Amino acid sequence: MNVIILGSPGVGKGTYAKILSEKYKIPRISSGDLFREAIRDETELGKKIKEYVSRGDLVPDEIVIKIVKDRLEKDDCKDGFFLDGFPRTVAQAEAMEKFKKIDKVLNFVASDDVILSRLGGRRTCTKCGAIYHIKEIPPKVEGTCDLCGGKLYQRPDETPEAIKNRLRVYRKKTKPAINYFRRKGLLADINADYPFKKIDKVISQCDEYLQKLVKIT
C-alpha cells in the first residue's frame, strides 16, 4: 500500500509515520531526510538542493519530484511506503500520480493550541540532534541530553511567533493539495490532538483505514 502522510509542523506526523512503518513493515520515506542525505553525499541533486537551501529559497518542484521518484523506485518500496513531507502542492501530487498510484492520504490534524504547546516545549540536543519535550518527553536532567550529555536548546523557528507563521505558510501552501486529495476520495483526516501518552488513539484511527488496504492487497 502506498500511503502519503500530511500534517502541519508539530503535529507529530514523523513520529506517527515511524510507528506505522514498523507496524506494517513498509518503509517510511521522508522528503526532508532525502534532502539531507543528498546534500551530505554531495550528489548532483544534492549540490543543487544545497544552493537553494543556503539562499533560503524553496527547492523547485522538478528537483523535489526527481529525488522522491528515484527513492520510491528502490526495491524496499515495492510492497508500499509511508511518504512523509511529499507531495505538498497540487503540481507535485499530479506529477507523482504519473509514476506511483496512491492508495490513501492520512492527514493529521491538531488545534493551534496543541501545536503551539508541542513545538514550544520542544528542545533539541546541540550535539546529537535528539529531540525532547519539557512536558511530554523530558530529559532526566533538565537542559541535558540523556544520550550524549549535550546541551538542549530551543530552535529559533519554535518560538510562538515563528510557529504561528509556519502554520500560516503551511496552510496556505498545502490546502490546495489537501483539497485535491479530498476530491479524489483519498483523504482521511486523523485527529492528532491526543497527548503523546495516548498516541495509540491516533494510531488506531490510522489502522481503521490501513487495515482495509491490507485486505485489498
Q: Which residues of 39-51 are buried (b: 16+ CB within 10 A; e: fewer)?
A: beeeeebbebbbe
Question: Which amino acid appears at position 197 of this protein?
Answer: K
- Candidate list 48, 69, 100, 166, residue with the active-site label: 166
- Candidate list 28, 71, 104, 122, residue with the active-site label: 122
- Candidate list 13, 71, 118, 123, residue with the active-site label: 13
Task: Pull the grid cell for residue 61.
Answer: 518542484
- Candidate list 28, 88, 104, 118, residue with the active-site label: 88
Q: Is 40 a catalytic site residue?
A: no
CB-CB contact of 108 with 203 (8 Å): no
Q: Is 55 a catalytic site residue?
A: no
Question: Which amino acid appears at position 18 of this protein?
Answer: K
Q: Is 166 a catalytic site residue?
A: yes
- Candidate list 155, 168, 173, 212, residue with the active-site label: 155
Q: Is 118 a catalytic site residue?
A: no
Q: Is 135 a catalytic site residue?
A: no
Residues with catalytic function: 13, 88, 122, 155, 166
